[in-house]
Chain A
Amino acid sequence: MRKILYTICALLLPLSIMAQTSLRGRVVAESDATPVVGAKITLGNQDIATTTNQNGEFNLVYLDPINEEVIVEQNGYLTKVVLFALMADQSNDMGTIELKVDMQQEMRDEVTLQLSEMDLNDDEGKSQSTSSGSNASNDVFNSNTGYAWSTVRYRARGLEQQNELTYINGINFNGMERGNFNYSMIGGLNDASRNKDEVNAIESNAFTFGALGKSTNILMDASRYAQGWKAGLSLANRNYKGRVYLTYASGLLDNGWAFAGSVAWRYSPYIDIKGIIGEGINYNSGGYFFSAEKQFNRNHRLSIITFGSPTMRGQSAAVTQEVYNLTGSINYNPYWGYQNGKVRNSRVVKAFDPAIILSYEWKINEEQSFKVGLGYHYSLYSNSALTFYNAPDPRPDYYRNLPSFLWDGQLDQNGNFITKDGAGRNIGTDVFWDPYADAVYTDKNGNQYDGRWIGSSVDKDAYQRLTNAWTSRDNATTQINWDDIYAANYAYDINNQSDPLRSSKYMLERRHNDIMESAANINYQNTEFQNLKITAGFEAKESQGIHYKTIDDLLGGTQWYDVDPFAERDIKELATNIGLTQADIEHVKRNDIAITNELDRVKKKGDKFGYDYTINMTKVAVWAQNEWNWNAVDFYYALKLTYSSMNRTTRMLNGRAWYLAQLQPDEDYYYLGMQYKQIRQGQYAASYQGWEHQFFDPSFKIGATYKINGRNRIKLNAMAETAAPLARDAYISPRVHDRAIQTIYTHDRANNLRDFYAASQRTVGYDLTYEFNFPIVRGRITAFQQHFWNGSELNGYYDDEARTFVNQSITGINRVHRGLEAAAAFKLGTYFTLTPMLAIADYHYTSNAYAVTTAENGMALAESSKGAMYTLNDSVLIKGLKVATGPQLNASLKLSFFHPKMWFADITISYFDWNYLDYAPARRMQGLFTGVRADGTAVNGSLASSDISNIALNKTEDGSWATDKYGTPVVNYPYNILTDQEILVSRNVWNRFIIDASVGKLIYLKNRQSLSINLSASNITNNTHMKTGGYQQSRLPRLTKQGQPDNVNSVISSNVWKFPAKYYYAWGVNFFLNITYKF
């Protein structure tokens, strides 16, 4: 092994020169004099850094003998700067350096962690995510914005979570399928996860190659934790109401062992007070952490770490503006209702992600180290949801249950009611005569008049009663009616007791998205060469994303018959397409056609049903980095090569997959996987292997730092890479079949380099930073730009025209992210620090994308002159559209107070702007605006190809439409949808501000004990107008002209806002009280 490592080093061989000046010292906590392990010691004028060992000691060698500014930083402590004159050719000793505890760190970590945990909140295809809680103290911008902007789910540089890497003891824990780090795995274990290395964006990196965004390595070796006990109690009015935790660390014992452990519990009962934060949800989360470390000698140490956080929590949903307006609350939650007088939430997450890590570190000598890590975790993640079959939709906020449905067509694009028509008449309350309409009205006496009656679609009384039920928060109207659901199931059983295949009307299903991952990591560092640091690494990961559904609760019913309700209505389509009979259709509906005994399709509580498949993923990467350090310039470059693969294995053979294979026999492998021939022949098996997709992606980065002097420096970094699509975006309909997106199909069959990278996203990013560090002010300004080409996404939604669930694969997504980050901390005298911070950015799409739309059940989606179209190919008109990734203008001013008697306080006022609604591709298809799709087919299937060129596109101020040969509008779609992107900030400027404040006190007690109390309040002005995000619903209302076949003369209803956008709001005023006792 050693030979191999030296071979790697030889490729990057340097020269070495000896030096003698050195510096040593010891860092301890001021409160109890315990060693501070892992503190970063930086010599500001020489840009040399190291970290403290288990005894809090550090030692720096090869130094220039100058007056130095020694910066001592550690997460959880206030940064300390010490001026020190280095004497030439001596071992300089700084003695003991005491750090004060940063009490607010605890609170900041917990709050940002809470938000991060909620990232997986929904399965509606959209979820909000936030940057991982970056409160590390070594960067003015990151340490302040991570918490201050968490309210609006700020994402640094607009990057998705797959561009931010999280490691634990050197093992990468970003899930391979979604690319994100699962914060709930360390939920509540703040103490355990506090020690970390963070590398900001594209910079040289000691533990991994890095990414466009931040890289974090959470260090959990037992010896890193301060010796002693720590107990804490927190109270909050957020998703959980209380937290207790207890942490113990032995410190490094004389026998070389160190132990650390922590337990935590967070809790909220079900909340049935309407309109408050956490309405209708409960929270019950434990947490454990245990770490043992053995230091065999100075050169060898071994750690074993295990942790987990079993959690059960209720969820809340984004809803439309109409619902917020009706309920008068941004905290309304449609997911709950009363059962036996108690709150019951239909969406309950159960998550448990136990992990174990084995780390071995071999310090070969003073200049070389070798680390090996092995990690394994099994993430059990599931959430429940109501499902129903041949019964009404039970969701209270289902669009047909809202007053706006009675006023069909009376919502504007913001989801607010239009109350007046163009002539100022009350819509919804008046029926009026339009004398200018091109019509003749004949009354009951036979008299005729020019004009026609127009008016609301429902009378005002009916509308008002439903509205009143909503505004008064009537339980039966605004919440899930569990009693009705139970009654429906009981009644059905009573009527169908003799039917062995009967199926409950309603039930709670549990959707499981488990992940089993094994990972290995090798890291080698060599500093034996003067001015050069060599780092090389190897990462390997094997991952399985395991997806299936189980029956969680039959809700009074007795059994469930496992077929797909979505396939139910397609008798006409399927019969038309290939002449399927109803019996065939029953076959297509089956979720597992390999089951031959119908009784085996009957499922009971706990049984698997629906789908059961695994995405198998492998990734192997090698990387190497050279860092050159000179007096005025530092320079680095790094290269990474990544191999990855994925395939899908299913244990249920879906009837729709079988049907598609029948429908397109030339491409049956596309749907059925590698065993397609056997399946076509009726040879069924326990599981079916899909096609393997393999990718090979290079990454390269380079950067330099120019040290103008000890206080000013300029950094320039750049990175370029290709990346395979995430598995979650790779399959068109993974629940049903094996078909991959079109670009992977091209990649798999590539015979040239261009096609080989047809599926990979290509990225180039670069940034320029100016850093300054003066006694009264320190901070940085960074300008960045990132280009993304050929990104891909997968959406699924209910299509109103096809009346079925469709999948939409979007490829060729090109965008640019550019902006400016700036923050500075000004010391105002002894007690105060003023910190302005700013992030101003522009994230937008630089070209149109391409969409492939298919029905999950395989039905034809349109007609063309060539016949039925099973796949719709069209451009998505997004060029110039803003990327919805949180506010693109964030600014804050923070005033901090610190008194040497350990009083802390701060107040932050923040301004957020340029926050945009996420677009739905279905609403921006080229065909909607021109009548002709990108593939040349007409939206109106009645058009012959020769007619396409005759379509006249009209653009007016309020509309864009084309007509077919019958003169019927092909589309009826406001043109301004294309040009206007809804901005989510309030029109009232004052509603764009959020004010946060906190106050704390640390009390030193006898025997090195201490008590800290911290109270923070966010959004203290209770601004309830701050939308943090939102997304358009894909569903578009359609009208089909009576007497015409489907897909002919089917036009979009003029009421394009019938399915308006859904929004997330920032919490109103909320607090967090934390009391910590160290003993």
Chain B
Amino acid sequence: MKKYIIICSTIALALFSCQPKDVDVNTLFKSQADVQAILDAEPEGYILYDQDHGGLNQFVADYMTEEGDYQPVRTRSTYGKFQMFSIDSIPVGGKGIYIMGRVTTDDWGGNFYKALVIQQMVGSTQHALRLSVDAGNASGLYAKGQLLLIRVNGLAIGKYANQPQLCVPTFNNNTQAQHAEEKVGWAPGRIPAAQFAKATTLVGQPQPGQLFYENLFIRDFIDILDCEQAREWDGKLVRIGNIHFTNQYANANGTLAPCTNGDPTTDGNANVFGPTTGNVGYPQGRVISDGQLNTIVSTSEYAKYAHMYLPDAEYVGTVEGILGFYEDNGRYAPTWKTWSISLRDLSDLRLVNAQGKVWEPTEYHK
């Protein structure tokens, strides 16, 4: 009997479980062959909007309409035939519909919130699309330079202030918003994180070096006011050279005015990147100029660098960031449209003065 007990105990000890091994990095990031296997597994075939099939712009063109198929939308954002807010559903069934793109954003700096932008090169043309994802710090999962394959069936494509984006429909009932009654209606909403994760495949390891920066002058985009054309430019990763900050802000009507030396916690016009908005939550615009034309660097008041002083005008150099086109008040200000550059963080600014001194950010202090 004793012998039997000893044998049993020995066998039992051998059954002790052990911790799972680390996940092999090669299994996490799919190869092109894996991507093909995913596509080939679609029972009814697939459509992949890659560079050979029109890219992201073609995807938007195929599924996004002016009015959308969800009604009503907010009345404040309608102008003639143009709907600045709309949603079009993407079929759930049928062929698998896929888009691909490389993430250009990073929310570490706090200037992007629950939003990603992907980039795809079609020939030498950059296509871009915003992705609205309900995940704080989404860059933690979808890093800058990461190539994504997204199965978009069952999601939606819509316009939010004329910015096309992959989304899900939501109905805005927020009674606390300013002009709340005019904002009631369907609007592009954030894709639930779990749903987005399920739809998304990480293709290869992140390669930020593969990102394409479109070198522009302000004149290349600032006069584009046609909505349909502007939408194709929205979201592009751009680099603009020879710019400097003018120490001005753009007010609600787009008029430029000098910044103040006020306290950014109370003064929305202070000479920092992102002073308070009094809890309205819009991004703050600070003017940059290439000597001929102006545009705006757009910063959230929640960005880590929001209270950094604006660079003096003597510092000149390049700015990189996400180009944005914004137009939401079609009912009362149909001609008011805004172009802006959103920085990922302050490393997107490379400025030097005439003496060769590199601009270093300094922070507001009471």
Contacts and interface: CB of A to CB of B under 8 A. Distances in A.
A393 interface: yes
B23 interface: yes
Contacts of A267: 12, 15-16
A1044 interface: yes
Interface string B334-347: 00000000000000
A792 B72 CA distance: 53
Given A461-B154, A1039-B176, A569 B302 contact: yes
Contact of B5 (A231, A242, A344, A452): A231
A486 B78 CA distance: 45
A125 interface: no
Nearest to B208: A495
A387 to B, nearest CB: 12
Contacts of B8: 244
A439 B279 contact: no
B124 interface: no
Interface stretch (B51-59, B142-150, B251-259, B283-291): B142-150
A1040 B171 contact: no
A396 interface: yes
A390 B78 CA distance: 37
Interface string B184-205: 1110010011110110001001
A453 interface: yes
B237 to A, nearest CB: 15
A453 B184 CA distance: 7
Given A401-B194, A477-B194, A444 B136 contact: no
A231 B2 CA distance: 9
A491 B198 contact: no
A112 to B, nearest CB: 24
A1042 B279 contact: yes
A456 interface: yes
Nearest to B1: A1079
Contacts of A443: 72, 75
B75 A444 contact: yes
Interface stretch (A67-75, A373-381, A571-579): A571-579
A678 B305 CA distance: 33
A474 B1 contact: no
A531 interface: no
A1043 B197 contact: no
| Interface size grouping (class) on chain B | 35 or more
Nearest to A583: B363
Contacts of B13: 265
A572 B192 CA distance: 28
Q: Max chain A CB contacts within 10 Å: which of B25, B135, B177?
A: B25
B20 A581 contact: no
Contacts of A899: none
B198 A474 contact: yes
- For the residues of B in contact with A, the DSSP-based class is loop
B35 to A, nearest CB: 16
Given A581-B365, A582-B304, A246 B5 contact: yes
The interface residues of chain A, by DSSP majority, are classed as mixed
B103 to A, nearest CB: 10
Interface string B114-151: 00000000000000000000111111110111100000
B17 A442 contact: no
Given A459-B70, A492-B143, A1041 B176 contact: yes
A401 B171 contact: no
Nearest to B209: A495
B47 interface: no
A454 B182 CA distance: 13
Interface string A454-467: 11111101100110
A1077 B1 contact: yes
B12 A244 contact: yes
B307 A392 contact: no
Contact of B28 (A265, A400, A483, A495): A483
Interface string B137-179: 1111101111000000010000000000000111111001110
Interface string A378-395: 000000000010111100
Interface in A470-509: 474, 476-477, 481-484, 486-488, 490-492, 494-495, 505-506
B193 A401 contact: yes
Interface string B16-33: 110111110101110000
B37 interface: no
Interface string B53-83: 0000000000000010010110100100001
Interface of B: 1-2, 5, 8-9, 12-13, 15-17, 19-23, 25, 27-29, 67, 70, 72-73, 75, 78, 83, 89, 92, 107-108, 134-141, 143-146, 154, 168-173, 176-178, 181-182, 184-186, 189, 192-195, 197-198, 202, 205-206, 208, 265, 276, 278-281, 301-302, 304-308, 363-366
Given A457-B171, A581-B365, 16 more contacts: A244-B5, A391-B141, A439-B181, A442-B75, A444-B83, A455-B171, A458-B170, A459-B89, A459-B170, A462-B192, A484-B141, A484-B197, A486-B28, A572-B276, A1041-B176, A1043-B279
- 4 closest cross-chain pairs (CB), A and B: A391-B140, A579-B366, A392-B135, A491-B143
23 contacts: A244-B9, A344-B19, A392-B140, A400-B134, A441-B75, A444-B83, A452-B181, A454-B173, A457-B171, A459-B89, A459-B169, A465-B195, A476-B198, A481-B197, A486-B22, A486-B25, A495-B145, A506-B140, A555-B22, A556-B22, A556-B25, A575-B366, A583-B363
